């Protein structure tokens, strides 16, 4: 095989795969949102924009958008604060640092299912370890899943535990690229640790933070498994986000077109948010 | 004591707190899976005094868990192999092909990164039902590829771009064909990148719940995350068995991580996000 044909063969595979796994599903999904389909085997019936009209006039859509946004923002902010804090600590030198660094990543490795099941076991009403611990301190029982705000906080708590290591690892890698001389110079100028963090560390790590916030934002906004496994969107739909709503419509209420419409709208909203984000924080390209 | 010793001591204490925070739930999961029923449901002590393998035996003999485990191995294995082959070819072509428009592939892959899962899962599910392969392991592998391919192409593209073209030229001058140079010179030099992609593809596929719960409906085709999650929905909550099942899913991940943590951290730093 000549040089050119190898490259062309590779490129052909690339184009075909991209079409098959990326372009086609999305086009198909968007086109489904213009049809009424009551099951996945039924014959679709063209209804134009009717699915969108019905979704957008549905109170549940706006509630899901709001509670999904609250969930995403809360868990991203907490992941960032905790992740940066941990990275700053793990960047100091102390006995056993290597071990602590390794162990601190473990939550990120675990499947969501395991984390949620273990959390539910730990807060189990009769014999959960956290329940017993709160009891022994004489604290009142926490109803983890029964009120809308408690359920939301439980979802956020589990998400922060699982995904903070991503922020920690990226920030820690960035910290190691900041030259010591910058800190020395700042120290000579009589700054304290907090001022050095604000005026040296943060500006140096801004490119990394921009990407980390973007990636975490996309994934927390699209999150399905945590919410579905923890609360199924309840109580009374209060923790349902757009991903859960889209799933419920397509697979529980057999409204495939409606589910596709919710997924499409969710994608449009996210794209718009990312567009605004890039306007505010342009990526530095090399 | 000098000030710096006090500081180091305090830092080690904080480090210990971080270890407890990160590892205690994992420890508790393992401990709960070997604690006999009487003590599991009554006493709360941090270290169990009696051990049992009863839950593991129940899980392996009385439930579909072994079948689900095998399904997970098949799905994750196929996903890793197919991802590696396709991602290597695509990333290499995009990194070396000198024509505008090739960027379309990379941009499309980046876009795929931000698709809501349902935007991909609804049409894939509909499509596989139409061609008679609904509720099959193949359909789940296809769904996982929509996650792992963007990641693999994106990561390897960066990797191949940083390899100077001269190394292939030198091999071709020595009589290799382009394909020969690629296989004999480029691939061996890319082993660290390939391992990173394999680790992340495995992680994504092995831990996935979202696509598995959508694409698979029959009990025989479930992967372990879905099989385990359905145990908790049942009337009779058996925490011992649930924790034993969780431990068995986590074990391969913890083993892989112990040996390959370097590649894992490298991938994280390059934006290889899982979940």
Could you tell me the CATH number of the domain that includes residue B64?
A: 1.10.3720.10
User: Within a domain: residue A43?
Assistant: no
List chain A residues with CB under 8 Å of B30: none
pLDDT at residue number B26: 93
**Placement of tokens 């473990």 in the chain:** A106
User: Within a domain: residue A40?
Assistant: no
B107 touches chain A (CB under 8 A): no
CATH number of the domain at A80, please: 1.10.3720.10
**Are A14 and B90 inside 8 Å of each other by CB?**
yes
User: Within a domain: residue B66?
Assistant: yes
User: Within a domain: residue B32?
Assistant: no
User: Within a domain: residue B3?
Assistant: no
**Calpha distance B252→B260 (Å, rounded):** 12
User: Within a domain: residue A7?
Assistant: no
pLDDT tens digits, A258-269: 999 999 999 999
Output B63 or B102, whichever has higher pLDDT.
Answer: B63
The DSSP bridge partners found for residue A45 are A36
**Calpha distance A98→B196 (Å, rounded):** 21
pLDDT at residue number B234: 60
Q: Which of A237-241, A246-250, B109-113 has the lowest mean pLDDT?
A: B109-113
List chain B residues with CB under 8 Å of A106: 22-23, 26, 254, 257
Is residue B117 very low, low, confident or very high in pLDDT (cuts 50, 70, 90)?
Answer: confident
Q: What mean pLDDT comes out for the span A3-13?
A: 79
User: Within a domain: residue B172?
Assistant: yes
User: Within a domain: residue B12?
Assistant: no
Please provide the DSSP assignment of chain A as one string. Answer: --HHHHHHHHHHHHHHHHIIIIIHHHHHHHHHTTEE-SSSSSPPEE-TTHHHHHHHT-HHHHHHHHHHHHHHHHHHHHHHHHHHHHHHHHTS--TTHHHHHHHHHHHHHS-HHHHHHHHHHHT-TTT-HHHHHHHHTTPPPP-TTTSHHHHHHHHHHHHHHHHHHHHHHHHHHHHTTS-HHHHHHHHHTT--HHHHIIIIIHHHHHHHHHHHHHHHHHHHHT--HHHHHHTTT-STTTT--HHHHHHIIIIIS--HHHHHHHHHHHHHHHHHHHHHHHHHS-----
A190, two tokens = 């009589």
pLDDT at residue number B274: 62
pLDDT tens digits, A63-104: 999 999 999 999 999 999 999 999 999 998 888 888 899 899
**Calpha distance A58→A131 (Å, rounded):** 39
Q: What mean pLDDT comes out for the span A212-234?
A: 91
Inter-CA distances, B149 with A218, B134, B161, B204, Å = 18, 22, 18, 11
Nearest CA in chain B to A164: B22
pLDDT tens digits, B166-223: 888 888 888 888 888 888 888 888 888 899 899 889 999 999 999 999 999 888 899 9
**Calpha distance A256→A36 (Å, rounded):** 7
Nearest CA in chain B to A108: B274
**Chain A nearest C-alpha distance from B243 (Å):** 7
Domain that holds residue B73: 60-269
**Placement of tokens 């395991």 in the chain:** A114
List chain A residues with CB under 8 Å of B92: 10
Q: Is pLDDT of A286 > 50?
A: no
pLDDT tens digits, B14-69: 999 999 999 999 999 998 888 887 776 666 677 777 788 888 888 888 888 899 99
User: Within a domain: residue B69?
Assistant: yes
Is residue A1 very low, low, confident or very high in pLDDT (cuts 50, 70, 90)?
Answer: very low
Strands A45-46 vs A35-36: parallel, antiparallel or unpaired: antiparallel
Q: What mean pLDDT comes out for the span A211-229?
A: 91
User: Within a domain: residue B10?
Assistant: no
Alpha helices in chain B (DSSP H): 3-32, 37-40, 54-62, 65-96, 103-113, 117-130, 137-161, 166-173, 178-181, 187-189, 191-207, 210-215, 224-233, 239-269
Q: What mean pLDDT, rounded, does chain B reach? A: 85
Output B149 or A1, whichever has higher pLDDT.
Answer: B149
When divided into structural domains, chain A yields a total of 1
What residues contact A63, with CB distance under 8 A and at least 6 apart? A237, A238, A240
- Please answer whether residues A235 and A147 qualify as being in contact, where contact means their C-beta atoms are separated by less than 8 angstroms: yes
Which residue in A39, A118, A265 has the most chain B C-beta atoms within 10 A of its own C-beta, making it the best mutation to test that interface?
A: A118
Is residue A8 very low, low, confident or very high in pLDDT (cuts 50, 70, 90)?
Answer: confident
**Placement of tokens 């077109």 in the chain:** A257
User: Within a domain: residue A124?
Assistant: yes
Highest mean pLDDT (candidates B103-107, B141-145, B156-160)? B141-145
List chain B residues with CB under 8 Å of A119: 25
pLDDT at residue number A31: 87
User: Within a domain: residue A130?
Assistant: yes
Domain that holds residue A86: 58-280
Is residue B1 very low, low, confident or very high in pLDDT (cuts 50, 70, 90)?
Answer: low
List chain B residues with CB under 8 Å of A1: 177-179
When divided into structural domains, chain B yields a total of 1
User: Within a domain: residue A32?
Assistant: no
pLDDT at residue number B54: 83
Report the candidate in B210, B206, B211, B213 with the shortest Cα–Cα distance to residue B254. Answer: B206
Question: ipTM for the complex?
Answer: 0.88
User: Within a domain: residue A114?
Assistant: yes
Is residue B260 very low, low, confident or very high in pLDDT (cuts 50, 70, 90)?
Answer: confident
- Please answer whether residues A107 and A165 qualify as being in contact, where contact means their C-beta atoms are separated by less than 8 angstroms: yes
Report the candidate in A90, A249, A8, A200 with the shortest Cα–Cα distance to residue B178. Answer: A8
3-state secondary structure of B38: helix
pLDDT at residue number B101: 67
User: Within a domain: residue B274?
Assistant: no
């Amino acid at each position: 095989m000549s040089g050119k044909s190898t490259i062309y063969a590779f490129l052909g595979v690339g184009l075909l795969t991209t079409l098959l796994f990326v372009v086609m599903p999305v086009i198909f999904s968007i086109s489904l949102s213009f049809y009424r389909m009551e099951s996945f085997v039924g014959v679709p019936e063209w209804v134009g924009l009717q699915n969108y009209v019905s979704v957008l006039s549905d109170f549940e859509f706006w509630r899901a958008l709001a509670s999904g946004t609250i969930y995403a923002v809360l868990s991203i902010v907490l992941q960032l604060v905790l992740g940066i804090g941990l990275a700053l600590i793990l960047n100091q030198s102390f006995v056993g640092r290597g071990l602590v660094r390794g162990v601190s990543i473990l939550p990120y490795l675990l499947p969501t299912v395991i984390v949620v099941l273990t959390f539910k076991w730990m807060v189990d009403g009769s014999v959960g370890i956290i329940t017993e611990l709160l009891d022994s301190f004489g604290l009142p029982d926490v109803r983890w899943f029964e009120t809308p705000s408690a359920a939301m906080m439980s979802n956020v708590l589990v998400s922060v535990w699982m995904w903070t290591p991503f922020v920690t690892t990226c920030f820690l890698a960035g910290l190691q690229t900041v030259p010591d001389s910058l800190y020395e110079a700042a120290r000579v100028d009589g700054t304290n640790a907090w001022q050095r963090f604000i005026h040296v560390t943060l500006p140096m790590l801004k490119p990394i933070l921009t990407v980390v916030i973007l990636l975490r934002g996309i994934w927390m906004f699209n999150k399905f498994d945590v919410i579905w496994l923890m609360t199924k969107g309840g109580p009374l739909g209060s923790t349902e986000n757009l991903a859960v709503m889209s799933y419920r419509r397509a697979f529980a209420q057999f409204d495939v077109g409606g589910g596709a419409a919710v997924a499409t709208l969710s994608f449009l909203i996210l794209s718009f948010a990312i567009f605004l984000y890039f306007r505010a924080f342009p990526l530095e390209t090399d | 004591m000098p000030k710096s010793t006090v500081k180091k001591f305090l830092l080690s204490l904080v480090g210990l707190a971080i270890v407890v925070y990160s590892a205690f739930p994992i420890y508790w999961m393992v401990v709960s899976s070997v604690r006999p029923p009487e003590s599991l449901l009554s006493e709360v002590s941090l270290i169990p005094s009696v051990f049992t393998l009863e839950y593991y035996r129940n899980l392996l003999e009385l439930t579909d868990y072994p079948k689900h485990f095998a399904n997970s191995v098949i799905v994750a294995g196929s996903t890793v192999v197919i991802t590696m082959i396709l991602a290597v070819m695509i990333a290499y072509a995009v990194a070396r092909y000198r024509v505008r428009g090739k960027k379309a592939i990379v941009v499309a892959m980046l876009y795929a990164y931000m698709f809501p899962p349902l935007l991909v899962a609804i049409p894939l599910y509909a499509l596989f039902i139409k061609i008679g392969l609904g509720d099959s392991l193949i359909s789940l592998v296809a769904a996982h590829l929509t996650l792992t391919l963007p990641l693999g192409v994106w990561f390897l593209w960066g990797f191949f771009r940083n390899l100077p073209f001269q190394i292939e030229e030198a091999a071709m001058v020595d009589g290799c064909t382009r394909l020969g140079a690629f296989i004999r010179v480029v691939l061996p030099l890319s082993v660290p990148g390939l391992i990173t992609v394999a680790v992340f593809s495995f992680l994504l596929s092995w831990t996935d719940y979202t696509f598995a719960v959508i694409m698979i409906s029959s009990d025989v085709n479930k992967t372990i995350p879905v099989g385990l999650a359905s145990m908790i929905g049942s009337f009779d909550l058996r925490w011992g068995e649930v924790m034993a099942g969780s431990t068995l899913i986590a074990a391969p991940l913890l083993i892989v991580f112990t040996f390959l943590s370097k590649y894992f951290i490298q991938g994280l730093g390059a934006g290889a996000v899982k979940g």
